[in-house]
Structure 1
Amino acid sequence: MRYAICFTPSPSDPLSHVAASWLGRNVFSGEMVEPPAIRGIGIHEIAFHTAVPRRYGFHGVLKAPFHLASDVSEAQLMRDLMRFSGSLHPFRIPCIEVARLGSYYSLVPSIPCDHVQHLASAVVQHFDRFRAPLSEADIERSDPDGLSAAQFANLHRWGNPYVMDEFRFHMPVTGPVNSIDMPRIEQALRSVFEPVLAEPITVSNIALMIEEGTGGPFRVHSLHPMGKVSARKIA
Structure 2
Amino acid sequence: MTIAGEFQRYAIYYAPPAQAAWGGFVTRWLGWDMDTGAEVPQPEVAGLPLSLASITATPRKYGAHATIKPPFRLAEGMTRADLETACATFCARNAPLQLEGLTLVRLGRFLALRPVGDTAALDALAARVVEALDRFRAPAPEAELARRRAAGLSPAQQENLARWGYPHVMGQFRFHITLSGKLPKPALGAVEAALTGHLVPLLPAPFEIGDLALVGEDAAGRFHLLHRYALSG
Q: Give the whole-Å Cα distance in 2 for the aligned partners of 1:76 and 1:144.
A: 34
Task: Say whether residues 1:40 and 2:75 are aligned partners.
Answer: no
Q: Give the whole-Å Cα distance in 2 for the aligned partners of 1:187 and 1:119.
A: 32
AA matched with 1:107: L
Task: Say whether residues 1:25 and 2:32 are aligned partners.
Answer: yes
Q: Give the whole-Å Cα distance in 2 for the aligned partners of 1:40 and 1:135.
A: 42
> Which residue number corresponds to residue 130 of structure 2?
124
AA matched with 2:72: F
AA matched with 1:188: A
Task: Say whether residues 1:222 and 2:227 are aligned partners.
Answer: yes
Unaligned 5+ residue runs, structure 1?
A: 229-235
2:182 to 176, 181, 185: 176
Normalising by structure 1, report the TM-score: 0.92
AA matched with 1:209: V
> Which residue number corresponds to residue 233 of structure 1?
none
Query: Residue deviations 1:174-232, cap 9 Å, x none?
Result: 0110101011110011112112114222101010010011x52111111111106xxxx
Could you list the runs of 4 or more consecutive aligned residues of structure 1 that deviate by over 3 angstroms after TM superposition?
A: none
Distance 1:80 1:105, change over 3 A: same
Q: Is the contact made by 2:99 and 2:118 (CA closer than 8 Å) also made in structure 1?
A: no
Q: Give the whole-Å Cα distance in 2 for the aligned partners of 1:201 and 1:36.
A: 24
> Which residue number corresponds to residue 136 of structure 1?
142
Q: CA RMSD in A?
A: 1.5
> Which residue number corresponds to residue 146 of structure 1?
152
> Which residue number corresponds to residue 10 of structure 1?
17
Task: Say whether residues 1:65 and 2:109 are aligned partners.
Answer: no
| 3-state SS of 1:180 partner | helix
Normalising by structure 2, report the TM-score: 0.93
> Which residue number corresponds to residue 211 of structure 1?
217
1:115 to 121, 125, 133: 121
The number of aligned residues is 226
Q: Give the whole-Å Cα distance in 2 for the aligned partners of 1:75 and 1:145.
A: 35
Q: Give the whole-Å Cα distance in 2 for the aligned partners of 1:143 and 1:177.
A: 23
Q: Is the contact made by 1:144 and 1:152 (CA closer than 8 Å) also made in structure 2?
A: no
Task: Say whether residues 1:88 and 2:99 are aligned partners.
Answer: no
Q: Give the whole-Å Cα distance in 1 for the aligned partners of 2:209 and 2:150.
A: 32
Q: Give the whole-Å Cα distance in 2 for the aligned partners of 1:177 and 1:58.
A: 18
> Which residue number corresponds to residue 231 of structure 1?
none
1:77 to 80, 83, 88: 83
Q: State percent identity of aligned pairs.
A: 34
